[in-house]
Structures are given as structure tokens and as C-alpha cells.
Amino acid sequence: MQKIIAISLIRIALFGSPLLMLSCNEGKGEGNKIVETSEPESHLISLTAEQMKANDFHTGSLTEKEFHQSIKANGMLDVPPENRMAISAYFGGYIKELKLLPGQKVQKGQDLLQLENPEFIQIQLEFLEAKGELRYLESDYKRQGELYKTNVASEKKFLKSEADYKVMKARYEALSKKLLLMGILPDQLEDESITSTLSLKAPMSGYITEISAEKGMYLSPSDIAMSLVNTNHLHLELNIFEKDAWKVKVGQEVVFYLQDNPSQSYLGKVHLVGKSVSEADRIVRVHVHIEEEETMANLVPGMYAEASVRTEAVPGMALPETAVVKIGDDYKVLLQTNTADGKRSFAPKMVKAGNREEGMVQIVNAGDFAKGSVFLTKGAFNLITE
């Protein structure tokens, strides 16, 4: 005799259909073959066609799918060394103007801060003096050369004019280089344009990550005023243990997520595999390029990430993730056992879950179920409670 117990699976308001039926089946079911597993006999869950439709429940069978073996690793988002810069000044001075904030974006050539120092005036003055003196000495050198060729001037005078000219030319070139380091174009410097201030400009486009200076302080050439980072080549640096390093190859797909936001995943590909093993922790560095640049808006250098490197593909039998429910440390599915009287009966069965990929779960013990077995592939989460 079959004992029928009527229960509500979730809530009547959710289903909007006749109550589902649980039954303790003491006889033999009809329809799909029931395969014994390690799961003990439990109450069967009976669903009518109306209930299946009203709650959008679906059934399906095990399907064959290739699952990539994965290597778990952690790492950090980073940029190449040339994309990081510590900003300092070639010439010391007092900071007259500083209006930037950490996190602010700057363009190459943009003013970062303004320095003031009376010594800047002296350098410009020396350059203008050298420029005028060089013009005179060059003229005299050429004149003495012509006179020397016609034996009108002595060799001594010619050599003296040549030496004076070359010394002044070297001084002029040195002062020109100083002006360029100060951000002043030598060809455009005139008497009326001499200034006691100079602007420190951004050597590249990027974001201000740190500001160590403040208005009014003296900034010496050895001081770092601020740090700048360009995120155009943001990438992931993974730490792969020595025992797994041989499995990692260039071009393999990488799926990673931030430790503080595991719900958002990102895709990448292995670009470089390190050729040395660190002595301290026996790891190999792996350089990963991030594939979808449009998803990188919230990624910044220094963030920690967890990743899976997909290596070789192995075939397996799988069910949709919506068919497999985790209860504690166990995984269960609902196996269809009977289709009599317009109803479908399902029995909870224990499974061993393997890899997960593209919404599918590998069923390691798929051999425990008969070929063609039918499972509840959508809705199991609402029905399996223990």
C-alpha cells in the first residue's frame, strides 16, 4: 500500500498550482530503471505535468562534455616597470603650486606642480651670456682662420680663437641641456622671458597613485614628489607552484576573480611562463594578458586575485549546475524513477561532483546511473532540502 503525503514544496503563492505529492514507495516503480547508489531510500517527490509547467521545471539526461583540468593559483594585478614612475625634479626648489589629488588622471606633458628658486634665474642668465659670447667668439674664430690662411694672422692667435670658441660652445651646449631639463626651450629664451619658476610636467599619461609633496616645502632632486602609473597594459602575475608549472603553456585560458569580489570573473590567456623557480617558496611566475579590456574599468594594480589555469581537456558526463544541489559536504540530484498516472516521481540521489565549466557540472560517478536516466535539471534546488 502506498502512503501519500501532501506537502507544499516552497510556498503555495510561489507555485500557484496543486500541491506536490511525496510518497514512500514500497513497490516497484515503472518507467525509467532505478539504479541503486550509495544514497539510501528516501521519500519520492511526485510532480504533475501542471506543476512541472507552472514552476518551469525541466528534465534532461547526462551529456558528454569536455572539462579542462584546472590549476589553482593566486596572483596580483600589475603593470610593466616602464608603466610606473616616481616623479622628482632635476633641480631643487620650493613648491609654489600643487593642485592634484591621488587617483586623478593626467596626460603626458601636463603640469604636475610648480617650483620656485632664484637659482633658476642665474642658470638662464648664464645661458644668455654664453649665447652672446659664443656669437662673438664664433665670428672671431672664422676671421682669424681666414687671416691665418693668408699669413696675415699668426698661428698662435688662430689657435687661441679656436680654443676660446670651442670652450664657449661646450658651455653653451651644457647650459642648453640644463634648460631643457628645466622645461625651458633654449631657442625661445629671451631676456624678458627669464623666470624664477618652472613647471614639473608629466612624463607619461596615467593616474596619480600617491603624492608625497605639499605646497611650500622644499623639493630636492632626491625627493619623490608623487607616483604615477599607466594602466594601459594591466596584466595578471600568477604564482604557480613548481609541481604544476610544467603543465602551464602559452595560450592557455585563465579565469580569475578578485578576492574581494568572487562573483565577477574575468578572462585571460597565458602570455609568458617564467624560466626560473624562486628559492624561497618554489613558485614560477606566469604573465597573463587580460582578454576583455572593457571589463577592466574597476581593476587597478596591486589587487589580489584567485585564478584557474585551464590545461588539458578531459571528457566526462555532466549535468547543468541547476540540477546539482550542495547539501553540507554532499551533492545531490533528483533522479526520475516513475512516470505513471500522469505524474513524475523523483528520488534524491547522491553524486560526486567534479569540475565545473560553462554552467555544467561533471558527474564523476555517472556510471552508477543507467544509460538514458532522466534527472530534474531545473528546479532541484527548491525541492532538495536535506
Using pLDDT thresholds of 50, 70 and 90, give the confidence band for residue 386: low
Contact 371, 61 (CB under 8 A): no
> What is this structure's pTM?
0.61
Query: Could you tell me which CATH class the domain 3-66+316-383 is placed in?
Result: mainly beta
Buried b (16+ CB within 10 A) or exposed e, 71-81: bebebebbbee
Average pLDDT score over residue span 176-194: 93
Of 215, 200, 227, 195, nearest to 122 by C-alpha is 195
Average pLDDT score over residue span 155-170: 91
Rounded to whole angstroms, how far apart are CA atoms 6 and 22?
A: 6
Domain boundaries 70-81+231-313, corresponding CATH code? 2.40.30.170
What is the grid cell recorded at 17?
A: 498550482
Using pLDDT thresholds of 50, 70 and 90, give the confidence band for residue 267: very high
Question: In the prediction, which pLDDT does 84 show?
Answer: 95
Domain boundaries 84-229, corresponding CATH code? 2.40.50.100
**pLDDT tens digits for 306-336?**
999 988 888 899 999 999 999 888 999 999 9
**Residue 184: strand, helix, or coil:** coil
Lowest mean pLDDT among 29-33, 285-289, 336-340, 345-349: 29-33
Of 348, 350, 340, nearest to 47 by C-alpha is 340
Domain ranges of the chain: 3-66+316-383, 70-81+231-313, 84-229
